[in-house]
Structure 1
Amino acid sequence: MPATPNPPSPRGSSREKLLDAAADLITRLGVQELTLDAVAAAAGVTKGGLIYHFKTKDELLGALVERMIEQLDQRQRAKAAKRGTAKSALLLALVEETFDMSRSEKQLLTNLLAAASAHPHLLGPVRKLFKETYGELAEGGAEAGLALAIAAALDGISLLELLDFHQFTKGQREAMRNALHELIAKLA
């Protein structure tokens, strides 16, 4: 039986409170309006308390991206685990994440993507997640091509909407979801 994790320390909860405040500010105002003073005020801590955890805005943004990627990966893995161990389980979880992401999470991701143009190093954890996910999907012989194509299609759908190149209607989204489910069933 795994050991029960220790409850978060006050420092850990302060760090999370700061990341939550930063995420909220970025979602509402964009990265360009993010300042250490604004994050400290929104989190109800002193600027010194913020600087204890994050010396710079860049460090804060990096920690926020890492946390988001970790949460996204954990959420996808948990959804996949409920469906079994097959490659199709991960793809079904990716479909769910793509089509059911909240409006606020989409806005936060959009604003962080915009920040990546000025801070390209923020993409390191994102690249790592993609490398792991696509690497996992690439294993398994003849089915690998279809699995990779489905994952790439899902990422394309997400990026089209996040970058506001195209917003699919509810009907279009449902038709794509159904088509992807039919393709994924061929992998099972």
Structure 2
Amino acid sequence: INGDSNVPFYRELANQGIKASDIPVMAFSVGEEELRGIDTSLLQGHLAAWNYFMSIKNPTNSAFTKRYKQYALDQKLPNAEKVVTNDPMEATYVGINMWKQAVEKAGTTDVDKVRVSMAGQTFDAPSGYTLKMDEENHHLWKPVMIGQIRADGQFDTIFKTPEVIQAQPWSEYILK
């Protein structure tokens, strides 16, 4: 299940009275935005694995969520007063900022020069971690977090890696 199809899935779980205490669901693509459209009081306790949750408490995340909420209000986006941030938004924010850093380091927007500059870049992300672009394969080192759905549609982080995880872009089983 991915993206918007999560909403009817979770609705039907609730309709059938299936609670996390009965059968906990671990999702890999359910975030704050998907949960915003459903009654999450019935979904408390189900799990999601991401690299970022809006509910993370740190100054970088507070500034990130505050800026986005202000942007939504200024642009008069639909339901601006209820906007949420999520993992894909944080990933995009990180990517744009790392690209900016690489352009500044390269002194140009020339693709080949920026690509070289990207290797080894780091960025202090809203997740609270310093993310790193791998020097060799340009995959991003990120944390792993598991969150538990709260009644308000946010997540309590119940597990997080102590450090970012080095990217492994290829399965060892495919390479054999």
TM-score (norm 1): 0.27
TM-score (norm 2): 0.28
